[in-house]
Amino acid sequence: MDDKVKALLDRVKGTANYAADAAADGARAAGKRAGQMVDVAKLNVQLFDLNGEYNDLMRQLGQVMYDTHKGEVPENDAVNQLLAQADEKAVRIAELKGRISDLKQALTCPGCGEPCGKGDKFCRHCGTQL
């Protein structure tokens, strides 16, 4: 690996702690929202869009790395901005995936068919014992 690319990667590594913290925050936020009723299909559309934006950021970061290899040193701000955006997208993707999986696992009331929380003893809508 050439020195310019190595220097870029060292710089990128310096931002890794933030990403780990942000991912943990996203996971916690996903847990808090588990009880909300949201349409899984809508969330899947959001997830599809986010994945597209994320992939575009990955492409740009790859371009930065290749440009660096060719000797065009990128501006620090440009790289940091791309990384910050990628972190943000990654957190939102993790959050959405968590919400979708929570919704898919959610129980349905045998009495009225409304969704219920996993820990619920009675249906919030009709009172049927679960």
- Pair 8, 68: CB distance under 8 Å: yes
The one among 112, 118, 122, 129 contacting Zn ion by CB under 5 A: 112
CA 8/CA 80 separation, integer angstroms: 11
Under the binding rule (CB under 5 A), the answer on residue 8 touching Zn ion is: no
Helix (H) / strand (E) element for 29: namely helix 16-32
CA 27/CA 30 separation, integer angstroms: 5
Beta strands in the chain (DSSP E): 107-108, 115-116
Under the binding rule (CB under 5 A), the answer on residue 125 touching Zn ion is: yes
The one among 35, 74, 111, 115 contacting Zn ion by CB under 5 A: 111
Closest C-alpha to 96, from 20, 21, 17, 34: 34
- Pair 128, 110: CB distance under 8 Å: yes
The piece of 23-31, 63-71, 95-103, 112-120 that touches Zn ion (CB under 5 A) is: 112-120
The piece of 7-15, 20-28, 73-81, 117-125 that touches Zn ion (CB under 5 A) is: 117-125
- Cβ proximity to Zn ion, 52 vs 110, nearer residue: 110
Question: Binding-site residue total for Zn ion (CB under 5 A)?
Answer: 7
- Cβ proximity to Zn ion, 1 vs 37, nearer residue: 37
Interacting residue ranges for Zn ion, rule: CB under 5 A: 109, 111-112, 123, 125-126, 128
